[in-house]
Amino acid sequence: MNPADFLISLKGKPYLPVAGRIAIIRNEQKPYSIKTTPLQIEMEQGFAVFQAEVWLDGVLLGMGTKQESKRDFPDFVEKAETGAIGRALAIAGFGTIYALQDFDEGERLADAPVTVNKPIASKPVATKVEVSPEPVVDVLKSLSVEFRNEVSHFDGPNVSPQRLKQVFSILTKNAERTPDTMRLALDMIRNCETVDSYEKLLATLGVNENAPF
């Protein structure tokens, strides 16, 4: 797989979005896994902090954290998780040469760093809240609704259950449906800005739209 197929221009330089990095590790067909952990979620104050880890056969390859605020993104919780995954993948060596913007102040992307305009001391001090994990069934149900909504942007509002299964299978290389694989599939779709980029992503993974699921 050629990373250049996913490159976009950022401040005049080539940049590899998170979706491209995820597609690359999936294409390698090795037992990679990505674990995300909410370190802090403050819905009232409007910010979230996530940590992501990239593993291969029990070896930690990279770890990254990301904070996002409601001021910058309405879906700041999801963006913080996506940003953490992007940083962890960059540290693990996936797309590093094209991901230098992740470690510099820059334009606003889901996995670009937060620009600090005030001294840290001037920011409101938030009390850390321990987030209890939701039951897996409830998480899957919620993520499935999000997945359907995202796919319907490109396939239309009447997208069938079979098509949803097909798209999920393509993006995850026939992986089992778990919260982690659902989030990876969601991240890949959310990084597609147009129908062309969505179809190109599916085609690049080597499976056509009529493939079995």
pLDDT at 90: 83
End-to-end CA distance of the chain: 22
Q: How big is the chain by its Cα radius of gyration, in Å? A: 17
Q: State the virtual CA torsion across 141, 146, 152, 157 in degrees, nearest 10.
A: 60
Kind and range of the H or E run holding 212: none
Contact call for residues 71 and 122 (beta carbons, < 8 A): no
pLDDT in tens, 83-139: 899 888 888 877 655 554 554 544 555 554 444 444 444 444 444 444 444 455 678
pLDDT at 131: 45
pLDDT in tens, 150-162: 898 888 888 899 9
Going along the chain from its start, the domains and CATH numbers come out as 1-115 (3.30.160), 132-213 (no CATH)
Confidence check: pLDDT of 213 > 60: no
Give the confidence band of 189 by pLDDT, cuts at 50, 70, 90.
confident
Strand 59-69 to 47-56 pairing: antiparallel
pLDDT, averaged across the chain: 76
- pTM above the 0.85 mark? no
pLDDT in tens, 55-75: 988 899 889 899 999 988 888
